[in-house]
Structure 1
């Protein structure tokens, strides 16, 4: 494993190697994670900048919950979300939530503005380095 530095900011990190249960390992279109990553990048290209970077990482170790993304930013609560379909509607919902996340001070996003397609997909909430949630 090699750690690669990236600029600090709001990141949606998609597992590029996720395989959904039941998907053939040799699917012609590639792993579901790679398809979700492609959908995220395509959706992002079609919208105004929100200050959110879409990044790829091979294996987030959430294999039972594929397709998985990690949302993080310095000084904010982070989230891992999974069990997604690798499609355009999912990608747009993730990016919409990420835009609200980017605009929040702590990473908390009011439930009232969560896109329907992210509800029920949260796997973990992680505190930022040096903090705990009280």
Structure 2
């Protein structure tokens, strides 16, 4: 069930997520999560300063009441699950900008002033790193 991946800062995309609250797939039969993963990688190709965070795909993050869900994580840092994105470049850029700030933060806390507008209102949960609790 588990597959080893490189340790480090990552955006884990739910590859099986719905495209929107109303639609499971696009006209071509692709799920929203797969489309979002493609958009994230396209932004990284065009904007190398956002390529320092790995884009990883995993089927089902169990946030099924939401769509286009991602988990932003890095070793020893608080992680965040975000959702309800449109699987496009604008959302992908906002996610990667936030993840880049998260990656260089001390404990995973990014000052609100640094949050891209595109992630505001998309946070679902925060998860403490193994061996720690948030205060």
TM-score for the superposition, normalised by structure 2: 0.93
1:70-109, aligned counterparts within 5 Å? 70-109=71-110
Q: What RMSD in Å do the two structures reach over aligned CA positions?
A: 1.3
What per-residue deviation string (whole Å, max 9, x for no partner) do you get for residues 7-27 of structure 1?
A: 110010001110122115574
Which segment is superposed worse, 42-51 or 84-93?
42-51
The answer (yes or no) to whether the contact 1:29–1:35 under 8 Å persists in 2 is: no
Distance between the aligned counterparts of 2:127 and 2:118, measured in 1? Answer: 21
Q: Name the structure 1 match of 2:42.
A: 42
Residue 45 of structure 1 and its aligned partner are, at CA, apart by 1.4
Distance between the aligned counterparts of 1:52 and 1:66, measured in 2? Answer: 22
- Structure 2 gap segments, 5+ residues each: none
1:13-52, aligned counterparts within 5 Å? 13-19=12-18, 20-25=20-25, 27-49=27-49, 50-52=51-53
Residue 51 of structure 1 and its aligned partner are, at CA, apart by 2.4
Q: Name the structure 2 match of 1:127.
A: 128
What SS does the aligned partner of 2:99 have?
A: helix
Distance between the aligned counterparts of 1:21 and 1:90, measured in 2? Answer: 16
Distance between the aligned counterparts of 1:80 and 1:13, measured in 2? Answer: 9
Number of paired residues? 133
Distance between the aligned counterparts of 1:80 and 1:67, measured in 2? Answer: 11
- Structure 1 gap segments, 5+ residues each: none
Distance between the aligned counterparts of 1:24 and 1:108, measured in 2? Answer: 32
The answer (yes or no) to whether the contact 2:17–2:24 under 8 Å persists in 1 is: no
